[in-house]
Amino acid sequence: KAGVTQTPRYLIKTRGQQVTLSCSPISGHRSVSWYQQTPGQGLQFLFEYFSETQRNKGNFPGRFSGRQFSNSRSEMNVSTLELGDSALYLCASSLSGTSGYQWTQYFGPGTRLLVL
Amino acid sequence: ELKVEQNPLFLSMQEGKNYTIYCNYSTTSDRLYWYRQDPGKSLESLFVLLSNGAVKQEGRLMASLDTKARLSTLHITAAVHDLSATYFCAGNSGGSNYKLTFGKGTLLTVNP
């Protein structure tokens, strides 16, 4: 079974631009979560989508947004990029079933974003 | 708000030795996860611990959960170089199954 895929893998942008990152979950997984990883702040939860609805949201400004499509693929968008947005953005998917093990999140390889 | 603290943050071990990584969390978490991250790579799921007293083992790694003490441990037995990586623990927060709060990670280096 293929794992979580993310595109692009690397991205360089300049301040003020916007960026869209894409995530395809493991087949059959309906929940998609996004995390930001930086050396200073570590891993921080951005948001989670299930059935095209945002179900949970972290403490990030409104410049960070996302969406999920009917095939469970997800995109996140960052508008008006700042230098501090440079990070590894990780997408994770889970089955979202009824048993605790089905809540395990499986992570993709990430998109490394550099903002200049 | 859930806070997760790991210690130590850096651990240098010799091959063949045993050691334990500790993960304390501040409020109730329904479950506790352990992940491994190799440099420049993504996170690999190691264990999910669902209840008090849960113990899981895979190879040289064993994880346990004490919900009363709000403590999880990751024990490494007879370390080998291949175990060198960063290990994260995470709990779910805000009553959500999917909003994980991570510790800062423990960078483990196993030396010959």
What are the pLDDT digits (tens) for B15-61? 999 999 999 998 877 789 999 999 888 899 999 998 888 899 999 99
What is the longest distance spanned by two Cα atoms in chain A? 44
Mean pLDDT (chain A, rounded): 93
Surface of B (30-49) touching A: CB under 8 A: 30-31, 33, 35, 41-45, 48
Distance of CA B66 to the CA centre of its chain: 13
**What pLDDT is recorded for position A102?**
66
Q: How far apart are CA B101 and CA B103, in angstroms?
A: 7
Beta strands per DSSP E along chain A: 5-7, 10-13, 19-24, 31-38, 42-50, 53-57, 64-68, 74-78, 87-94, 106-107, 111-115
**What pLDDT is recorded for position B95?**
65
**Which of A6, A47, A105 is the best substitution to test chain B (most B C-beta atoms within 10 A)?**
A105
